[in-house]
Amino acid sequence: MLEALALARQAAEAGEVPVGAVIVKDNQIVGRGYNQPISRRDPSAHAEVMALRDAAQHMDNYRLTNCDLYVTLEPCCMCVGAILHARIARVVYAAADPKTGACGSVVNLFAESRLNHHGAVSGGLLADESSLLLKTFFAQRRRSNEQN
């Protein structure tokens, strides 16, 4: 999660919402990503999707079985869909997302029995650090908008 937080800081420095993600297999990071929808002009360029793409390239397979994903913010519905399709075994997120979280905050797609893949999910790991990063980013953005 520390590496995911470092990636989230990279996103913030680039003017993106500070979310970072890593994918781990056998205690090795095989995929990294951070939010890039603004710079890539791509609404799907969330940290989780970027990490999934990186890991799939690294592992030469879109199925990332026996991998864990660590992300600094609870994944949204789009990201959970990609995570499930990739067959990620476990998701660990830092801060809950009460607006778009799809791991229990708004909906819990991991608990949907009709879906064909189910992974484990847990939240709260380094939540305070991630929340502070997000709050600081949005406070700075609000101040900047007020000055303009």
**Dist CA 115 CA 7 (whole Å):** 30
For this structure, is 48 an active site residue?
A: yes
SS3 readout for 62-98: CCCCCCEEEEEECCCHHHHHHHHHCCCCEEEEEECCC
Annotated active-site residue in 13, 16, 48, 112? 48
**Dist CA 84 CA 129 (whole Å):** 27
**Dist CA 112 CA 27 (whole Å):** 28
Q: Could you list the active site residues?
A: 48
